Amino acid sequence: MAQSPVAFVALEAFLRLPETKPASEYIDGRIVQKPMPQGKHSTLQAELVIAIDAVAKSRRIARAFPELRCTFAGRSVVPDIAVFIWERIPIDEQGEIANVFDRTPDWTIEILSPEQSQTRVTGNILHCLEHGCRMGWLIDPAERSVLVYPPERQPRLLNVPTDLLSVPEPLSDLRLSVGGVFGWLSAMPGI
């Protein structure tokens, strides 16, 4: 179960704290621990990372990062999946992917857990969009729905299995439907 927010703390002090499992986020001066992912959440997260990277990674378009800390504009959040366009992936002095991502993702994907606050998760998506993110998704396994948040437009609720999910422009080759995404939860082989 996620912990309640604690007293106000400075972002710099938060970033010096040891990491927690599950991850804690820094939102509006408070530390909030995310809930422990469960089976449906973990399955959707893993399959989405694989699907995104299959289309984007080898072609150096983008890369999907699960549970990556992104610190920007006074917040430090850990989206379930943070997707970065290739040119925006931070590189360190050795030419490797940096440990610290001090920028907003290009696409933020959150998978709602049963005990998680939809308002808090939506707030993180909106914060990303306000600071340059190209798209946000809020996946609700219980409702079999995806709220797609394009920047500066109304979100779209997609819950019909044949609905195609919008993706950011550089990833237009990624074709996912609502039914395809939730089909990953089937325990039957081959589905």
Give 29-46 pLDDT, tens digit per residue. Answer: 999 999 999 999 999 999
Residue 100 to residue 68: CA distance in whole angstroms? 9
pTM of the model: 0.92
| CA atoms of 9 and 49, how far apart (whole Å) | 33
pLDDT at 14: 95
Task: Please report where in the chains the tokens 């395809």 appear, as a residue.
Answer: 180
User: In the prediction, which pLDDT does 191 show?
Assistant: 46
pLDDT of residue 190: 55
Domains of the chain (ranges; CATH) run 36-183 (3.90.1570.10)
Helix (H, G, I), strand (E, B) or coil at 48: helix
Q: Point out the residues of the chain with pLDDT beneath 70.
A: 1-7, 188-191
Peptide bond just before 141 cis, omega within 30 deg: no
Residue 139: how many CB atoms within 10 A of its CB? 25
- Give dist(CA 145, CA 181) in Å, integer: 10
User: What pLDDT does 136 receive?
Assistant: 98
